[in-house]
Every structure is written in C-alpha cells, then in structure tokens.
Amino acid sequence: MELDLRLIRYAVILADELHFGRAAQKLLIAQQTLSSQIVQLEAGLGVVLFIRDRRHVELTPAGKLFVDRGRRLLAEARNMVVEFSRTAPLLRVDVITEGLPTTDLIARQLRSRLPEVTLEVVQGQGFTVAVTSLVQGRTDLAFGRVNGLDGPLPKALQHRLVRLEPMGVVLPADHGLAGRDAVRMAELADHPLLLHIAEEAADWQDWNEQVVAEFGLEVGYRMRGHGRSAANAAVAAYRAPSLGPLLAPAADGVVVRPVVDPVPVYPFSAVWRSGRPSRPLDGAITAVRGIADESGWLEPPPREWWMPAADHT
C-alpha cells in the first residue's frame, strides 16, 4: 500500500492519547472517522496496530514499531516543508480562536489546496482585532460576521459570505436538557444563559444579544474569555447553558445539542483587503469559495431558521 502521512499522524496521535475520543478531538475529526481510518490502515498493512476494547486502547508490538518509524517520517516531512517554505510566498490567515469548526477546517484545507504557499495561521481572538490587522496589512485573510461591529466594515475591505453555520447549545452533561436530541428555542427561556465572549469579539457579542432579545431569553452570567475550551470549562463550572457552534468539539463534562424552532444561524464571511493583486490571496479566496460550495455551507437549514435582520442583506 502507499502510506498516507495523514493516516500515520492519526496513528501517532492515537498512540499518544491511547483514547479514541481524546485523539479524535485533538485531530479535529469525528471519533467514528478516526476508528474507521485506523481500521483502513491496519487492513492495508496487514497487521494489528492497536488492541482496543470498551475500557482501554493498547499498542501491539507491531504498533509500537509503526508509531516509532511514523514519528520519524512526520518529522522528516515537517523539516522538508520548512526547508521549502523559506522561499514560498506567505499568506497570513486569522482563524479567530481555537475550536471553531469553520475556520479550523478552512485552515486545514488551505494547507492542502495551496501547497506552494506558506500559510501562517494566527488567532486574533476576535473579528474586531482581525479587521484592524487586515486594514494595517498585518494579516491577509480573516473570517467573521461583518455586522455587529462598533461601526461599518472599513471601505478598504472586501468580504464574501462563506457559511451559514447552525449554532447549538452547550450544556453540562447532566443538565435537564442534555438528554434531548434537540432543544427548542422556547425551552431555553427557562434556563438562564452563560455568555462567554472575548472583548475583541463584538460581532459574536451582538449576535448573542440579538438572540436573547428576539426570543426573550435570560442571561445568568456574562464572562470574558477566549476560545471554545474556556467556554466549555465555564459551562461545566457554572452549570449554565451557552450558545456555541453545533459541531465544535465538546470537552468531558459537557455536551452540545442542536437548537430548533428556529435554528439559530451565524453567518461567517471571508474578509480581505482590497489592493494590488496577490497570487497567494487570490488562490486562497478561490479555495475558500470552493470549500463553501463543495460543503454546501451556503445552504440554509432545512427547517425554520433565524439570524439577525442585518445579516439577510
């Protein structure tokens, strides 16, 4: 078989974690996907790399050998990329923060679709900061909701909608709503929300406030912080529900459930600075459009959905 570096990386991360759930979360893929890919790798090699049952995961002798050599292959691949990237054009992309499924996936796809470009990924922790960095030329491409800022988007910037992302509700695992397949928006009115928002994320703040006002929800806690990991930890600590990406990885102790009647939708746009042509940036914009089209990201949910009126234009 032809070895795929992606499968080697899956095996190495699983060997580090010895737990399919944690490894899948670290790889930003579904646990079922990781399991099936490991089975595919073992079938291609004709050996068993991992012994697994409901309680533990363990490396076989063949697995230990494979993982050891796999680490060396991955290190060599990284060294090769670094060596060639010294002369490659640079593209700086702001993915906002960790744990966002849309921007995480776009960053991974851009790496594979633009192999001739050195991709520098940064986390500005909020679209407000990203806008300033774009205008000043410190970053080339960013993602966020173009409405809800302190003012209009600067005229120097262009944008294109790339995803209508359904939002869910993050709950403590033993919360009364956690056992539902989906949570109706009206049911959230009986459970004060936790709003965990970075100061730099005015667009996310505005969207949350509009959901609260539109559906008569109550806010129990307002907290400042960065990243989905910190937001999940706050949900577990304060035992209050919080709105967040439906497909974002959930940590131990919390679950994510769909919100329906209606489905709250967050509009993500790609944003860049107008100016002289840039081959890396032009290639990235084309790639992002392709990702959105192939993934059906611009298709609204099949059932009743909602987003702020300003975003419909």
Confidence band, pLDDT 50/70/90 cuts, at residue 84: low
Residue 46 sits in the same domain as residue 112: no
Residue 113 sits in the same domain as residue 255: yes
SS (H, E, C) 237-296: HHCCCEEEECCCCCCCCEEEEEEECCEEEEEEEEEEECCCCCHHHHHHHHHHHHHHHHHC
pLDDT in tens, 72-83: 999 998 888 777
Residue 87 predicted with pLDDT over 70: no
Stretch 93-104: mean pLDDT: 89
* Angle between helical axes of 61-85 and 5-17 (0-180°, round to 10): 120
Residue 41 predicted with pLDDT over 80: yes
- Tell which of 85, 108, 125 closes a domain: 85
Residue 288 predicted with pLDDT over 90: yes
- Tell which of 61, 85, 109 closes a domain: 85
Residue 142 sits in the same domain as residue 290: yes
pLDDT in tens, 243-286: 999 988 777 889 999 999 999 999 999 999 988 668 899 999 99
Specify the pLDDT at position 211.
97
Mean pLDDT (the chain) is 91
Specify the pLDDT at position 85.
58
Confidence band, pLDDT 50/70/90 cuts, at residue 19: very high
For 108-117, 217-226, 245-254, which range has the lowest pLDDT when averaged over its residues? 245-254
Query: Domain of 137: which CATH number?
Result: 3.40.190.290
Residue 113 sits in the same domain as residue 195: yes
Confidence band, pLDDT 50/70/90 cuts, at residue 156: very high
Residue 10 sits in the same domain as residue 102: no
Residue 133 sits in the same domain as residue 243: yes
Query: Domain of 78: which CATH number?
Result: 1.10.10.10
Q: Please report, for residues 224, 232, 254, 261, 309, the alpha-carbon distance to residue 217 in angstroms, rounded to integers and kept in the order given.
A: 20, 20, 21, 14, 18
Stretch 73-96: mean pLDDT: 81
- Total number of domains constituting the chain: 2
Confidence band, pLDDT 50/70/90 cuts, at residue 116: confident
Residue 164 sits in the same domain as residue 297: yes
Helix H segments across the chain? 5-17, 20-27, 31-45, 61-85, 101-113, 127-135, 185-188, 202-215, 228-238, 279-295
Residue 242 sits in the same domain as residue 309: yes
Residue 158 sits in the same domain as residue 34: no
Residue 162 sits in the same domain as residue 261: yes
Percent of the chain with pLDDT over 70: 97
pLDDT in tens, 158-215: 999 999 999 999 999 999 999 999 999 999 999 999 999 988 999 999 999 999 999 9
- Please provide the size of the chain in residues: 313
Stretch 54-78: mean pLDDT: 92
Residue 109 sits in the same domain as residue 64: no
Domain assignment of residue 54, given as a range: 5-85
Residue 73 sits in the same domain as residue 109: no
Specify the pLDDT at position 93.
95
- Tell which of 64, 85, 106 closes a domain: 85
- Rg of the chain on CA atoms, in Å: 21
Residue 86 predicted with pLDDT over 70: no
d(CA 147, CA 94): 18
